[in-house]
Structure 1
Amino acid sequence: MATKEDNYKYLSGFGSEFVSEDPRCPGALPEGQNSPQKCPYGLYAEQLSGSAFTAPRAENRRTWLYRIRPSVGHGPYTKFPKGFLTHDWDEQEPDPNQMRWRPFDLPKTPDVDFVEGLHTICGAGDPKMKSGLAIHIYSCSISMENRAFYNADGDLLIVPQVGPLDIKTEFGLMKVHPNQICVIQQGMRFSVAVNEASRGYILEVFGQHFQLPDLGPIGANGLANPRDFLTPTAYYEDMQNTSYQIVSKYQGGMFACNQDHSPFDVVAWHGNYVPYKYDLSKFQVINSVSFDHCDPSIFTVLTCQSEKKGTAIADFVIFPPRWSVQEHTFRPPYYHRNCMSEFMGLIHGAYEAKKDGFAPGGATLHSIMTPHGPDAKCFDFGSSEVLKPARVADNTQAFMFESCLGLAVTKWGLKTCQKLEEDYYKCWGDLKSHFTGMKL
């Protein structure tokens, strides 16, 4: 797939207005109004809405697309094989055990594209009610040829782990490498091309949108800076009289229709509802410089809030390279029981609290109120290390999808993938009593 460097940035935060036109068609953006009687170059005007028309101005999301053919020009939808993509959260009995998966398989055959390689691990909620989330793995070996995909159920936050993704969208082109992320928002059509067998993680939120977390006492600067989020530049292809398949994820099901032209025929666009990408190495870490721990929420890159203030349907949290300087403190992550569900993945390196067993391309799930924390080896080191300023997590990038919802694991996640470690609980088996007080 041809690529073109993205160069439009979030200059003043989410909600900003963006303007872009393909340089091959200067003046393609209408002046003065969104939908003139006749658009320049004989284009069609089409609005893509990501919020209710009547949403408050600060929350209203929409973009005007000026395209060669309107997206309505397609045949009827029919069922599309959905493989291991599911939102049936009752197909397995609830299981509160700590879970860890070995690295998920890359495709065993050379003919699996991004859509065909989607596998659901866990989730909760109902896309019909626009509430909840799902966590998927993608594993693909070939590019999507004359096929586009869109998600009618919600936003997709994509975390590549093996192999870069060339993503063609209605808004333009994005190249997303491991240690970068991208968000394709609800309803946006896209296609994924790969040059090698590729694998990664996906966080899907139903009917809501990701946003930057509030900074509170941190102040104006810190965490993910708005200017580091990149949106693509308009780039169109004029492919007529061809066979193109559009795959839709709708109410948890998969459907497909055919059309005789490329869906990536947008010559110009303007609005505040766009796909975007972000380089995790640009995250500005905030941390303790005295003693004890700040909560892991200080590592939040993006959040999707529930109706309960300060409680997330989903947070995307990273654990990047940083300095650790706390005094009189057990520096590794503390032992913990949480009212949130914590799903962790590893992009590369070795996670600081479990340097053995937790491998890149694998995952862990620690469910609501199920205890977890460092293994015995990490505890012994953290209890005896000389506390001087030290680098943490160099050459490593772990992340967490955290949610207030109780996540149900699918049959594929528990059984079919055959990657679940049955003896994960044993990593805490060597934790011994060091009690020195009076024994009763």
Structure 2
Amino acid sequence: MTDYMSGFGNEFETEALKGALPKGRNSPQRCPYGLYAEQLSGSAFTAPPGANRRSWLYRIRPSVLHARRFLATQPSWWKTAPSRAAGAAIAQMRWGAPALPDRPQTFVESVRTMTSCGDADGRIGMSAGVYLATRDMEDDYFYNADGELLILPQQGRILLETEMGKIAAAPGEICVLPRGVKCRVMLPDATARGYLCENYGALLTLPNRGVIGANSLASARDFLTPVAAYADHDAPCRLTVKWGGGFYACDLDHSPLDVVAWHGNYAPYKYDLRRFSPVGALLFDHPDPSIFCMLTSPSSQPGVGDLDFVIFPERWQVAEDTFRPPWFHLNAMSEFMGLIFGAYDAKPSGFEPGGMSLHNAMLPHGPDADAVASATKAPSTPVKLEDTLAFMFETRLPQHPTEYALTLATLQTDYEACWSALPKRFNGTPGGAA
């Protein structure tokens, strides 16, 4: 069973043993229960209020005792920007859902990077990929020094056991693991498939809502942070860290998930995507897809994200005399899309749950021929899009496909054919198509 506290970016305090959290002092001379005080900083010490993210952890052993000399491990399909495959075509791309492997592999071992952009060392950009896990991380622990992880289960639940508490996530939910937080991932359903985004830049936060105002979209109160839970377990295990794009490991004789109490505003969290409150047009036309932005990693350009996490959930469509699916467009941003369940209104066939698409900056894309034919003839009556959940990782940087993405068996080499049946409708009369 997992327990949570609510509120995005709030200051929390939680203890697994009564009295374990020191009162009034962050680092007393002697902590309760003989614990060690340790600060985990997710931002620079001098970051301004609101942007300063840190938590104080009160643990059985300090991290210096579970982060010994790390030795390099084998290469992985989990790639880090800058990373690109040579000779990749400039084209719209789409993949079907990758199959789960027959061999056992943990969450970390199973990550396959599809695209990347920016530079992890420069703390800019992101990578997008999938995980195809088939076994628990029983004696394996992990933390990521390169970026913040946004995880979207698509098939099968995951249980994220972190040093700050436990997070259970199912398809339709997300969880975010901050840079530097130790964890292991367990599989309640034996296998799990989903999407993963590694954010190298500024921490994800709620977007500015502009004229929308204080309500709708994602509410801070619906983000859940775990309460303290600890493991006082002495047994051989291994801790792996992803650092500078490489993987390094050390052997331990105890569990590193030994935080008995903590307080602060830097912690893992989860969110149920069904709690997102969409907004839209009430008469005609429809706003830009930024109205579906749930989280953003701000860049140095005002109003432009290094990473925007956008979702397309169930919603009513009511606009009159309006082509309701997403329109044809070229975008300054690069879009990596995935589908959790159901169908996506702009691609009713060919874009399947567990699949992905990449529409890079200034490459034209839009609804396929079937979506256009249906939407141009549909009555302008209210319609509810049900049983659907799609998402987008959008970035101002061009996304480069990896070797894995270009050689994946589910790559749809005929993707552009979905537009080939679009007819020429021009007939030279003011009324448009005959």
TM range (shorter): over 0.9
Q: Report the equivalent of 2:23.
A: 31
Q: Report the equivalent of 1:423.
A: 414
Report the alpha carbon displacement of residue 219 of structure 1 after superposing the two structures with TM: 1.0
Aligned pair 1:8/2:5, yes or no?
A: yes
Q: Report the equivalent of 1:236.
A: 230
- The 8 Å contact of residues 85 and 400 in structure 2, kept in 1 or not, is answered as no
5+ unaligned residues in a row in structure 2: which ranges?
Answer: 430-434
Given candidates 110, 126, 134, the residue that maps to 2:127 is 134
Aligned to 1:413, the other structure's residue is in SS state helix
Report the alpha carbon displacement of residue 328 of structure 1 after superposing the two structures with TM: 1.1
Q: Deviations over 1:392-432 (max 9, x none)?
A: 2x1111111111000010000001x2221100000000001
Aligned to 2:121, the other structure's residue is in SS state helix
Given candidates 272, 275, 278, the residue that maps to 1:282 is 275
Q: Report the equivalent of 2:333.
A: 340
Q: Deviations over 1:192-218 (max 9, x none)?
A: 000322111111111421000011111
Q: Deviations over 1:152-193 (max 9, x none)?
A: 011000000010001100110110000000000111111100
Q: Report the equivalent of 1:407.
A: 399
Q: Which amino acid aligns with 2:157?
A: P
- The 8 Å contact of residues 84 and 116 in structure 2, kept in 1 or not, is answered as no
% identical aligned pairs: 48
How far apart in 1 are the matches of 2:254 and 2:300? Answer: 41
Given candidates 8, 12, 15, the residue that maps to 1:21 is 15
Aligned to 1:344, the other structure's residue is in SS state strand
Equivalences for 1:288-299 in 2 at 5 Å? 288-299=281-292
Q: Deviations over 1:77-131 (max 9, x none)?
A: 011223211235243234321100011121221x111011011101111111111
Q: Report the equivalent of 2:426.
A: 435
Q: Report the equivalent of 1:50.
A: 42
Q: How many residue pairs end up in the alignment?
A: 427
TM-score, normalization by structure 1:
0.95
How far apart in 2 are the matches of 1:92 and 1:346? Answer: 28
- The 8 Å contact of residues 145 and 241 in structure 2, kept in 1 or not, is answered as yes
Aligned to 2:64, the other structure's residue is in SS state coil
- The 8 Å contact of residues 76 and 258 in structure 1, kept in 2 or not, is answered as no
5+ unaligned residues in a row in structure 1: which ranges?
Answer: none
- The 8 Å contact of residues 15 and 21 in structure 2, kept in 1 or not, is answered as yes
Q: Which amino acid aligns with 1:425?
A: E
Q: Report the equivalent of 1:100.
A: 94
Given candidates 182, 198, 201, the residue that maps to 1:204 is 198
Q: Report the equivalent of 2:244.
A: 251
Q: Report the equivalent of 2:143.
A: 150
Q: Which amino acid aligns with 2:393?
A: F
Equivalences for 1:38-77 in 2 at 5 Å? 38-74=30-66, 75-77=68-70
Q: Which amino acid aligns with 2:389?
A: Q
Given candidates 368, 378, 403, the residue that maps to 2:371 is 378
Given candidates 242, 255, 266, the residue that maps to 1:262 is 255
How far apart in 1 are the matches of 2:88 and 2:303? Answer: 27
How far apart in 1 are the matches of 2:313 and 2:84? Answer: 35
How far apart in 2 are the matches of 1:317 and 1:116? Answer: 27
TM-score, normalization by structure 2:
0.96
- The 8 Å contact of residues 244 and 262 in structure 1, kept in 2 or not, is answered as yes
How far apart in 1 are the matches of 2:270 and 2:87? Answer: 37
Aligned pair 1:118/2:111, yes or no?
A: yes
Q: Which amino acid aligns with 2:2?
A: E
How far apart in 2 are the matches of 1:145 and 1:284? Answer: 38
Aligned pair 1:188/2:176, yes or no?
A: no
Q: Deviations over 1:33-74 (max 9, x none)?
A: 000010000000010000011111221110000000111114
Q: Report the equivalent of 1:361.
A: 354
- The 8 Å contact of residues 9 and 228 in structure 1, kept in 2 or not, is answered as yes
How far apart in 2 are the matches of 1:48 and 1:258? Answer: 22
How far apart in 1 are the matches of 2:233 and 2:84? Answer: 43
How far apart in 2 are the matches of 1:129 and 1:232? Answer: 30
Q: CA 1:228/1:365 → structure 2, altered by over 3 Å: closer, same or farther?
A: same
- The 8 Å contact of residues 344 and 365 in structure 1, kept in 2 or not, is answered as yes
- The 8 Å contact of residues 159 and 185 in structure 2, kept in 1 or not, is answered as yes
How far apart in 2 are the matches of 1:91 and 1:429? Answer: 28
Given candidates 312, 320, 323, the residue that maps to 1:327 is 320
How far apart in 2 are the matches of 1:304 and 1:94? Answer: 27
How far apart in 2 are the matches of 1:230 and 1:158? Answer: 15
Report the alpha carbon displacement of residue 330 of structure 1 after superposing the two structures with TM: 0.7
How far apart in 1 are the matches of 2:282 and 2:344? Answer: 22
How far apart in 1 are the matches of 2:426 and 2:90? Answer: 29
How far apart in 1 are the matches of 2:220 and 2:89? Answer: 39
Q: Deviations over 1:232-290 (max 9, x none)?
A: 010011012x1121111101111111211111111000000010000000000111101
Aligned pair 1:273/2:266, yes or no?
A: yes
- The 8 Å contact of residues 126 and 201 in structure 2, kept in 1 or not, is answered as no
Aligned to 1:129, the other structure's residue is in SS state coil
Q: Deviations over 1:6-37 (max 9, x none)?
A: 22011xx42x2100001xx2000001100001
How far apart in 2 are the matches of 1:93 and 1:314? Answer: 26
Aligned to 2:50, the other structure's residue is in SS state helix
How far apart in 2 are the matches of 1:183 and 1:218? Answer: 25
- The 8 Å contact of residues 155 and 208 in structure 1, kept in 2 or not, is answered as no
How far apart in 2 are the matches of 1:92 and 1:320? Answer: 36
